[in-house]
Amino acid sequence: MSETYFVVGGLYTDTKFDTIADGKKLTSLGPFDNYEQAQAVWRAKAMETVDEVYAKFSIERTSHDQYWVVGGQYTETDFKTIRDGGTEQRVGPFNDLEEARAIWKAKSMENIDDAYCRFRIEKL
């Protein structure tokens, strides 16, 4: 699973911080690959708006699955050892399972006549 971070906030109508002020937009900065990057931007936005009581920014984490198409030509039909001592092919990552399935199908159809060839979808 992959995680990304965003700094989200803006100027609100009151200190409940649930309604953005008229004429203002919710700001979303990012994505950032790690919390430390997001925290540095959050600190900068907090200092920029330190004198504005209705301003608030927070860090939000989003997670999403990534899919890989993995496989190749194996030495046996137990599909454990790659032919010629190589490593399995890895195609991806794909954020969408349907996209990974389309690539899996294409790779499988390319090798349909090879009983020692197999591809699968792995979710990380």
Note the pLDDT tens digit of each residue in 50-91.
999 999 999 998 877 788 999 999 999 999 899 988 788 899
pLDDT at 95: 84
Q: Which residues contact 2 (CB under 8 A, 6 or more apart)?
A: 63, 64, 65, 66, 93, 124
pLDDT band at 1 (very low <50, low <70, confident <90, very high): low
pLDDT band at 42 (very low <50, low <70, confident <90, very high): very high
Ordered domains of the chain (ranges, CATH)? 2-64 (3.30.70.2400), 67-123 (no CATH)
> Is residue 106's pLDDT more than 60?
yes
pLDDT at 66: 83
pLDDT at 3: 80
Q: What pTM does this model have?
A: 0.54
pLDDT band at 2 (very low <50, low <70, confident <90, very high): low
